[in-house]
Amino acid sequence: MQNSVVQWLEETARKFPDRTAYVDETRRYTWGSLRRAALSIAASIEKAVPGRKQPVAVYMETSADMLAAYFGIAYSGNFYSPIATDMPAARVEKIVQTLRPAAVVTTRALEKTAFEYGGGYSSGEPLRQLWSEKPVLCFEDITGETVSGETAKQYADRILDTDLLYVLFTSGSTGTPKGVAITHRSMIDLIDWEAEEFNITEEDSFGNQSPFYFDNSVPGIYLSVKTGASLYVIPTELFSQPVKLLQYLADHKITTISWVPSALVMVSALKAFKSVDISGTLKRVLSCGEALLNKPLNVWRKYLPNVVYVNFYGPTEITYACTYYTVDREFEDDEPLPIGKPMRNTEILVLDEQDRLVTEPEQIGELCVRGSSLAVGYYNDPERTAAAFVQNPLQTAYEEKIYRTGDLVKYNERGELIYVSRKDFQIKHLGNRIELGEIEAAVSSLEEVSMCCCLYDGKHSKIVAFLEQEMSRTELNRRLKEHLPDYMLPGKVICLDKLPLNNNGKIDRVKLREEYID
């Protein structure tokens, strides 16, 4: 029986000690060297942190070293929680106050910055004061110790699959970040299925797009360590240079990418496929993080028809994803792409407003999830945990938690799940209930539009469309009349050179609202 993710590293390092594991611009780990570094980090953490099952913050740039730190923390019997180096100081303060880490792993270069925040705080209290009594471990100083095989076995054997692996902080509607707590068992369940479903082997290589504090990075990190595949940390600047990005994939023989849809949109919009041929190497395109639209996907499918395309759906609270759809037919640009069916060992409950099960096509309900993929809750936040992780209303004989995603879905005639919108994207406008996601899909289907976003200005009762292209409201609505009724047409159009993206690569709706609506 497998009880932790470090057992994958033990086995893979034994089978493929000299194979490439994780690679970035300055560092290349083999599976053998990664294991040695992780065990050394674990030994240092064990000396510095009394007890186990405690949070260890990781304040590092997205890098191969960061992943060595993750596994070192896991070996030590504790759990990791990444803090982005470019995160606003006020947000860092809120995270640290919730997490109260037992230690922090950083680098020499970042050590000074890590503890000299202050200007952004309402209190002016720098991280140096918040963590003044906690060990600060510099990566360069904790990777040299040799750990015996017997000690490594003791590290691996003492972890339970119900122990936490990580806590990732996501945005909270109240302005306070939520720390999603994921166990080893949830990760094992996900990766075992995904490796089998998509036939991932040691011959594969992943091209990582997402920061390692974002759950879209999870498949590459853990599918690699399970199978012996390689993972390349793609330089961030290449995601604004699509030709060079595709050339990177070709040069490193990347077979699998797990990217947010906006990254796929960027490549398709700028016609990079005409300059670089990756048809001989790329096998799989996995997408998750937000709705994947058919217009950019159809461009990818045109140039790379033999690639397997998979649309994953799932919030961070579900360990990356809970449903998937492997694209198996043609779609028009303005059609919705299914989010498919539940992943193995996961059940999807679509519940109406009276908590009755929705089974009929086209009937909309909230997507709820049960299974071992569920987070155990929000770290140090029992009130919000109780609101989102609730008793299954369809079964009251014993405790059985489901997670309410807050997402509205429906079944199509084929029995596939279709994402409709967030519950909080549903608006009441001119007496009609409207899904903003439906308007976005219609706008995105227009040939000239590469990226768009729709928000609602409640004060002025207007639907606001944000575009990356120059287009008047009159022209946009003339085109949209073929797809939408009059009451769903935008009342205002704002054209920008670039829609802002957050650190996870998603359209930054909060920033758009703050700058142009509120």
Please determine, for residue 306, whether its predicted confidence score (pLDDT) is greater than 90.
yes
Can you say whether the dihedral through the CA atoms of 40, 44, 47, 52 is positive or negative?
A: negative
What does pLDDT average to over the chain?
90
Q: Is 377 helix (H, G, I), strand (E, B) or coil?
A: strand
pLDDT digits (tens, 9 = 90+) for 374-385: 999 999 999 999
Task: Please tell me which of 121-130, 443-452, 491-500 the model is most confident about, judged by mean pLDDT.
Answer: 491-500
CATH homologous superfamily of 430-516 equals: ANL, C-terminal domain (3.30.300.30)
Task: Please tell me which of 77-91, 118-132, 157-171, 460-474 the model is most confident about, judged by mean pLDDT.
Answer: 157-171
Least confident of 223-227, 270-274, 466-470: 270-274
pLDDT bracket for residue 503 (50, 70, 90): confident
Q: What's the predicted TM-score (pTM) here?
A: 0.86
Read off the amino acid at residue 116: E
Least confident of 166-180, 412-426, 487-501: 166-180
pLDDT bracket for residue 85 (50, 70, 90): confident
Read off the amino acid at residue 190: L
Distance, CA of 223 to CA of 188 (rounded, Å): 10
Residue 298 main-chain phi, psi, to 5 deg? -65, -30
Q: For residues 223 and 250, is the Cβ–Cβ distance under 8 A? A: no
What's 234-420's CATH class?
Answer: alpha beta
CA distances from 292 to 259, 314, 327, 410 (A): 11, 13, 12, 16
pLDDT digits (tens, 9 = 90+) for 11-46: 999 999 999 999 999 999 999 999 999 999 999 999
Please give the pLDDT value at position 118: 40
Please determine, for residue 270, whether its predicted confidence score (pLDDT) is greater than 90.
no
pLDDT digits (tens, 9 = 90+) for 308-357: 999 999 989 999 999 999 999 999 998 999 999 999 999 999 999 999 99
Read off the amino acid at residue 299: V
pLDDT bracket for residue 111 (50, 70, 90): confident
The candidate with the shortest Cα–Cα distance to 311, out of 273, 180, 329, 408, is 329
For the chain, how many helices (H) and strands (E)? 16, 26
Question: CATH second-level architecture of 6-227?
Answer: 3-Layer(aba) Sandwich (3.40)
| Range 498-515 average pLDDT | 84
- The more confidently predicted of residues 227 and 435 is 227
Please give the pLDDT value at position 242: 93
Please give the pLDDT value at position 126: 44
- The more confidently predicted of residues 171 and 287 is 287
| Range 63-76 average pLDDT | 98
| Range 112-128 average pLDDT | 49
Please give the pLDDT value at position 254: 98
Q: In the chain, where are the structural domains located?
A: 6-227, 234-420, 430-516
The candidate with the shortest Cα–Cα distance to 306, out of 288, 285, 289, 321, is 285
DSSP assignment of 389-409 equals EEE-TT--SS--EEEEEEEEE
- Would you say the CATH fold of 430-516 matches that of 6-227? no
Please give the pLDDT value at position 203: 98
Distance, CA of 63 to CA of 82 (rounded, Å): 12
Task: Please tell me which of 134-143, 225-234, 293-302 the model is most confident about, judged by mean pLDDT.
Answer: 225-234
Looking at the chain, the whole-number percentage of residues with pLDDT higher than 70 is 93
- The more confidently predicted of residues 508 and 319 is 319
pLDDT bracket for residue 305 (50, 70, 90): very high
pLDDT bracket for residue 121 (50, 70, 90): very low
- The more confidently predicted of residues 268 and 346 is 346
pLDDT bracket for residue 444 (50, 70, 90): confident
Task: Please tell me which of 64-68, 289-293, 488-492 the model is most confident about, judged by mean pLDDT.
Answer: 64-68
- Residues near 357 by Cβ (< 8 Å), separated by ≥ 6? 349, 350, 351, 394
Distance, CA of 170 to CA of 388 (rounded, Å): 14
Please give the pLDDT value at position 322: 97
- The more confidently predicted of residues 423 and 303 is 303
Please give the pLDDT value at position 129: 59
pLDDT bracket for residue 373 (50, 70, 90): very high
For 393, counting Cβ atoms within 10 Å of its Cβ (0-12 exposed, 13-18 middle, 19+ buried), the class is middle
Please give the pLDDT value at position 400: 96
Please determine, for residue 123, whether its predicted confidence score (pLDDT) is greater than 70.
no
